[in-house]
Structure 1
Amino acid sequence: MLLSVLPAAPAWLASYQHHELLLGRGLGVLGAWALLNLGLSGYQLPRTDRRTWLHHFHLMNCAWAFVNSVLAAVGILRTHPGRPPLGFTPAAALADEQLTGHVFLFNAALDVGYLLIALWLLTRAQTPAATRPARQLGYGRSVQLQGAFLLVFDLVMWALLR
């Protein structure tokens, strides 16, 4: 009975809250990916020979995990899934939603750049004149894995938040 007395939220507010909930959940996926990388590669890193490509792969995965975990945590803390800040307007909600979409598209373009850098590192590691080919191979495979995940993640988030 009490629920029928409460006024319904405006459509723009419901849309914004849905947007923020999806954003928070997506950033939770990014955080889980970071923790998975940190757990697996953090465990394996001291157990691999420093002269092998696998050591460099795990080292780079740990670096990516740190950055991704910070981005996920900051992003989650900045979302407002329950109630927007005071004075928030429909125009501000729309601008925020559009900016978020642009950020994910921009990140997807960066991810393509990461994949190109990975390809360059992997190709360079195979050349006879390569200096420290194990490091280039390990870093290249890590950047390839992280770039591929982030490309899929950013494109899925962009599509979901549209």
Structure 2
Amino acid sequence: MVAFLLIFALMLNLTDCLYIHTVQTFQDLRQQGQKGPAVAFTALLSKHTDVSSRAVVKYDRILSNVGGAYHPSTGIFTAPYKGVYSISCSLMSNLSNNVHLQITKNGAKLSILYSAKDTNPLAGQTLQLLLNKGDKIWIQNNNAKVAKLHDHGSYNMFSGALITRM
């Protein structure tokens, strides 16, 4: 009976230690996430845009670019810190064509958005991604032909925000 009580007390002590370590780890991660400047951007297309086969979409109407990590001249977002980011994209094609855009990380396809011709449907996706410092995210035409995007500053959007640093 004494051995049972001793083992039980030892298990409670280990459980308490594990709980305290877990709470401290989450507190450390939360504090790390609050260090450093914020990172967030939203960019739109300002006009109807033709995007060549497999080319990067260059969103040129910048609503915000806190931290300067989105580069409108290239259409590429570069993660300035390791962390969890929220990345979003919306798509509306021109009535004349089907469009497939892909969310791309360092050259690898993560996800595809689709908008059919003759209907002007709006497609959108949001991904939460663990990115390393220097990882690059962009939106590119996944079609083997020119993609015609319908816009005048409000339908086609690319945005991202750092949720927490790791």
What TM-score bracket applies, with the shorter chain setting the length?
A: under 0.3
Q: For the pair shown, which has the larger CA radius of gyration, 1 or 2?
A: 2
Higher strand share: 2
Higher helix share: 1
Normalised to the residue count of structure 1, the TM-score between the two structures is 0.25
